[in-house]
Structure 1
């Protein structure tokens, strides 16, 4: 049943944004930094940042009325193979993007520019009960709603930290390790990347990321991490981190790639999600005996829920055709089955420390709002139904002695089929978001299947093959 609250979410957001004390806080920060321009930004289903730039003198107008964009922008204004604009077509209405005032930040590379993250709504003039409701295809807004509902039902919040691996190319960055060795962790290679990591860390700290450790992991691969937090904030910060890396690449004349598997002979770019569940300031996954790795009952059931839905979540965690090249390269720590282990880097879920689960499926192109939403649904299913994950995996998941475990989908097409067949996973996104994601990914897979690749030219293109 539709409630008054549902119909007036846009009005409630306007009321928050016109609180004079909140607006004055933003104005003061803008004046202090000399901000002249503002980005009002949101994130598409594929993780791209879109938005509008507005002169800062129009702040009062925009915090009350927002900005408007065509809703097909959330599908990257992409057409399918038949020329149809996905996400509603050319005649679709615009959405209203309302800035969240607490996300205001000044860009450290140009302090004349600030930005907000926005929540998206159906425009107020939309006929009937739809007007002013949260936009169903807003992945960021959906995560906030899913997480809040999870907390109301369970009394828990999900805290997470991401491990974004990225590939950098440019003059002087190539590593030349000895045969059969890896350049991972070598400080000499970190020195090659010193201009990169120093700028990324400095910009990250300026934009609210509590930067912690990082390392050089594989040829051209750098990972820089920040402190874990409430999953909603972690998702925003992953988007900010990507924006920072693109800016640093522009400044230094390098190229940064988020491609999950950039080359045949290199490890893939993952974005492992480290998860913990909290009731207030108590981590309910942590065992009081910190001398040994051990699962609490809550942790066991959380893992059980994750594994029960891992194959269906794979389309979200590996959202591109290229993502599955990373899983195929099984000799280099990428998971292949829905299994778990005690500090076992070959498993989909790893108990990496007391009270912390590492989920290894997500890659560098994951949309963190989608990934955290489906993880919340899977975890809640595990807690509610007390799902047992079975015994821990010892050794790799590919040995004959491994406990039975479902194999991951190994193509995007197969993954989408698993995704749409799981009501727990799709329920976390809702019907409109699920449908748009399915259409986007089905079209991507179809386009790939109809494309002729370099591998095919090499294998079949020569006379006499």
Structure 2
């Protein structure tokens, strides 16, 4: 069993004493208990029926039917996020919502792996013989789409159908959203800590009507004139996001066509859902204005990449930010926070395949001077660090980019912090050089394969399908003949 901290530290950081009490009550190392329960949660054959029973309670049925009738919604998207950070859905007339609360929606198994085929033409995650899964709606996620008031959406959780032998009724292991919800709940149950996050999604907009004013040798960042060019865009974005319960807080123009709009931080479940929703909002607004909106991580060399920094904190049951040492007013990270950072840095290389998930993601790290970190280190208000302590009580993880699957990234960061806290992993001093991060998707794949932590904390099926998807992407890229190669080699000899 792990013994937590010294008396002096415990006096200043009372949440550490709570961890010691939890370890005694549970009778073991909190990180090991956490890991064991992550695995056992997937083997719960009663999960589907409990979800159905909750959906069919009188209060739930009355509430969702009243909401839909009052809203005027006539059609519902029953929606799930995929491993590739897209969304899939089926449309059903809203009048059938009670039926769907019980029966759910059936999807082909490969929907969660983006129906992606490998280079040999085989569907990744299962061929034509693959069994369907059931997407059971979560009524509390119902929202009306502000650009068409007759259409709404509702998130689903994926389960194995009850008729399947052995696995029937269990959570579908490839559902990244449900996986994140489970891992976070275990953080709450075992460590008595809630993870909150605020993301910073950068993206590039392109079109004749929104071309920026560019001056050679000058960055277009923060220029009011460039914000004015984007005014119709950001106004419509803010309008739609606010209608979908985002608390929009600020935005700026950062580089050629690049804007960043931020909303208030929240529990990671809400933050991840909002990030997925924000991408859909941007796609809709682009259609309305006849322009293009891209979350491509690195569209232009010499310009900023599209990052999606995750600003993290852990809060106790009394509403206190555990990254803050009471009475300390200088920029700092509490002891518990340093252990959490220690876990993130320890597993940084293995997590990169999720944080920077595409071939293009790694172009961010090859373009010097663009604030993209290349080492597993941390620092106090240091934009070159992987983890930047940007404010008291907040750790900004700077490697995720705007193509990230936020459910996978937050699940791994939750598990990494649980490992760091449970095993008291002390990070090196702020500003230390740190281990080199993968610099290509191929290197990230190998780091992902080799990391025992990744193997233990992601469900086997999810990990393998995700690895298959990314390995195929890397193989296709390695086999592609690019314009650079033509320029470099077409007339290189003699």
TM-score normalised according to structure 2 size = 0.90
Q: Per-residue displacement from partner, 1:86-138 (whole Å, max 9, x unpaired)?
A: 111110000000010000000010010111000000011112x3101000000
Post-superposition offset of 1:5: 8.4
Tell me if the contact between 2:213 and 2:226 (Cα under 8 Å) persists in the aligned partners: no
Matched residue of 1:7: which SS?
coil
Match of 1:457 among 486, 490, 493: 486
| Aligned mate of 1:73, from 111, 117, 126 | 111
- 1:427 is displaced (CA, Å) by 2.4
Q: Which runs of structure 2 are paired with 1:250-399 in the superposition (5 Å)?
A: 250-280=287-317, 281-289=319-327, 291-393=329-431
Partner of 1:217: 254
Alignment partners' CA distance in 2, 1:418 and 1:328? 18
Question: Partner of 1:135 in structure 2?
Answer: 172
**Corresponding position of 1:34:** 72
Give the Cα separation in 2 of the matches to 1:404 and 1:76: 38
Q: Give secondary structure in 1 for the equivalent of 2:140.
A: helix
How far off is 1:33 after superposition? 2.0
Say if 1:161 and 1:273, in contact at 8 Å, map to a contact too.
yes
Change (3 A) 1:104 1:313: same
Q: Supply the distance in 1 between the matched residues of 2:67 and 2:41 (Cα, whole angstroms).
A: 37
Name the counterpart of 1:430: 459
Spell out, residue by residue over 1:395-443, the C-alpha distance to the aligned partner (whole angstroms, 9 max, x if none). Answer: xxxxxxxx34111100101101111211222322211111011110011
1:177 is displaced (CA, Å) by 2.6
Q: CA deviation at 1:330?
A: 2.9
**Would the aligned equivalents of 1:377 and 1:425 in 2 still touch at CA under 8 Å?**
no
Supply the distance in 1 between the matched residues of 2:449 and 2:269 (Cα, whole angstroms).
Answer: 24
CA shift at 1:288, angstroms? 2.5
**1:396 aligned partner:** none
Higher relative contact order at CA 8 Å, sep ≥6: structure 1 or structure 2? 2
Please give the per-residue CA displacement for 1:150-183, whole angstroms capped at 9, x wherever unaligned: 2211111110010000100012322233222111
The alignment covers a number of residue pairs equal to 455
Distance in 2 separating the partners of 1:324 and 1:164: 17
Structure 2 residue 207 is matched with structure 1 residue 164: no
Q: 1:296 offset after TM fit, Å?
A: 0.9
8 Å CA contact 1:39–1:54 kept in 2: the answer is yes
Moved more, 296-305 or 354-363: 296-305
Alignment-derived partner of residue 474 in structure 2: 445
Structure-2 separation of matches of 1:162 and 1:277: 15
- Using structure 1 for the length normalisation, give the TM-score: 0.95
Secondary structure of 1:165's counterpart equals strand
**1:78 CA displacement:** 1.1
Q: Structure 2: give runs of 5+ residues left out of the alignment.
A: 1-38
C-alpha displacement of 1:329: 1.3
- C-alpha distance after superposition, 1:63-86 (max 9, x if no partner): 111000001111111111112111
CA distance in 1, matches of 2:457, 2:64: 33
Aligned residue number for residue 243 of structure 1: 280
Give yes or no for contact 1:330–1:336 (8 Å, CA) kept in 2. Answer: no
Report the counterpart of residue 150 of structure 2 in structure 1: 112
Distance 2:160 2:277 in 1: 25
- Displacement of 1:3: 9.2
Partner of 1:56: 94
CA-CA distance at 1:386 after TM superposition: 1.1
* Cα distance in structure 1, aligned partners of 2:219 and 2:142: 41
Cα distance, 1:82–1:262 mapped onto 2, change above 3 Å:
same
Report if the CA contact (8 A) 1:104-1:115 is conserved: yes
Aligned 8 A contact 1:273 1:360 in 2? yes
* Structure 1 CA distance for aligned equivalents of residues 288 and 42 of structure 2: 49
In the alignment, the residues of structure 2 paired with residue 222 and residue 3 of structure 1 have an alpha-carbon distance, to the nearest angstrom, of 40
